[in-house]
Amino acid sequence: MDARGIPKAELHVHIEGTLEPEMAFALARRNGVTLPYAGVEDLRGRYAYRDLQSFLDLYYALMDVLREAEDFYDLAAAYLARAAADGVRHAEIFFDPQAHLRRGVPLEAVLEGLEGAIRDAEGVSAYLIPCFLRDLGPEAAMETLTRLLPHAGRFVAVGLDSAEVGYPPRLFTDVFARARAEGLRAVAHAGEEGPPEYIREALDLLRVSRIDHGVRCLEDPELVARLAGEGIPLTVCPLSNVRLAVVPSLAEHPLPRMLEAGLMVTLHSDDPAYFGGYVGDVYRRSAETFGWDEATLRRLGADSLRASFLPAGERDRLLGEIPGAAGH
């Protein structure tokens, strides 16, 4: 079965996490950056992580090769071409403004490059979602929001990512209230390594439309009932969860239990260059592992479109391409 033919939305991908080793070396050469790795194979050999933080250390180090608008263009153009080939018709792409601003890369260079690639992409639309690095704290997030707001029309939402434990969503209540007052939607990583309480805070205090990851909700049956009852989308990234040791193996991933519980689950890649697969691979490997039929894959594709921030007309047009999905 080939899930690539099913129209879908990619709602959980960090553009910096699509930086393949080959492109990292090419951009390093172009920008005169010396990488502390012997070559592509040496770098790939380091893609073994103990946890979220050990991955983030490599992810932040390697993005040092992203300097000019052209670099962000090339990065996003390669990702969008790859996504379109996997049947992604719409992507809502995270990026980390603070990770670039702190290296002296202007916001305008990041935006100009990413938007250029989105404009030129064929067969796939995309929105941008800047994320606050929670481990830099709420004051830094508020400062970043102040720099983002003059460009608010260029984003659909704000997000919250990076090291989770110790940085609960409640710290960012004021930041998210201000973003929402300016007409931006909100999403947040919660319940990846952090406890179910962080998911509640993201819902009640940040007033998010979706939870990114959310797998640890299963530890709290009352929360599961609420998420299912309210139809809150959880953007689940099973290959990421395996690589970051959130779960021991794909076979032991709670995805089947999440679907059985009636949760609105959608499937995504997170940081595909680092976690061994783009969204087409995520669908294929999950289907093989859990024995899913075509109807289940169609339902996941349809739910990803329903969970997107696309206008209703466009969303329904894409749903109309999935047999059995329209009108639900």
Closer CB to ligand HPA, 74 or 192, in the complex: 192
Nearest approach, Cβ of 50 to ligand HPA (angstroms)?
14
Residue ranges for the known binding site for substrate are 271
Phi, psi of 79 (to 5 degrees): -60, -50
Q: Are 112 and 69 in contact (CB under 8 A)?
A: yes
Q: By rule CB under 6 A, what string of x and - marks binding of each residue 62-101 to ligand HPA?
A: ----------------------------------------
Q: Binding to Zn ion by residue 270, rule CB under 5 A? A: yes
In terms of DSSP bridges, do strands 210-213 and 264-267 run parallel, antiparallel, or are they unpaired? unpaired
Pick one of Zn ion, ligand HPA, none as the site partner of residue 243 (Cβ within 5 to 8 A by kind): none
* Residues in a beta bridge with 145: none
Q: Are 60 and 163 in contact (CB under 8 A)?
A: no
Q: How far apart are CA 112 and CA 294, in angstroms?
A: 39
Nearest approach, Cβ of 96 to ligand HPA (angstroms)?
7
Q: Which residue is closest to ligand HPA by CB? A: 161
**CA nearest to 280, candidates 18, 47, 74, 82:** 82
Position 316, amino acid: D
Q: How far apart are CA 130 and CA 107, in angstroms?
A: 11
The secondary structure of residue 265, as a DSSP letter, is: E
Q: How far apart are CA 190 and CA 230, in angstroms?
A: 17
Q: What is the CB neighbour count within 10 angstroms for residue 166? A: 10
206-265 residues near ligand HPA, rule: CB under 6 A: 240
Residues in the chain: 328
Residue ranges for the known binding site for Zn(2+) are 12, 14, 189, 270
Residue ranges for the known binding site are 12, 14, 189, 270-271
Chain centroid to CA 309: how far? 14
State the distance between the two ends of the chain, measured CA to CA, in whole angstroms: 24
Q: By rule CB under 6 A, what string of x and - marks binding of each residue 140-179 to ligand HPA?
A: ---------------------xx-----------------
Query: Which residue from 14, 82, 298, 299 is in contact with ligand HPA, where contact means CB under 6 A?
Result: 14
Q: Binding to ligand HPA by residue 189, rule CB under 6 A? A: yes
Q: Which of 20, 92, 164, 192 is catalytic?
A: 192
Closer CB to ligand HPA, 59 or 73, in the complex: 59
How many of the chain's residues bind ligand HPA (CB under 6 A)? Answer: 11
Q: How far apart are CA 155 and CA 146, in angstroms?
A: 14
Q: By rule CB under 5 A, what string of x and - marks binding of each residue 94-133 to Zn ion?
A: ----------------------------------------
Would you call 22 a catalytic residue per the annotation?
A: no
Active site residues: 192
- List of residues contacting Zn ion (CB under 5 A): 270
- List of residues contacting ligand HPA (CB under 6 A): 14, 17, 52, 59, 161-162, 189, 192, 240, 270-271
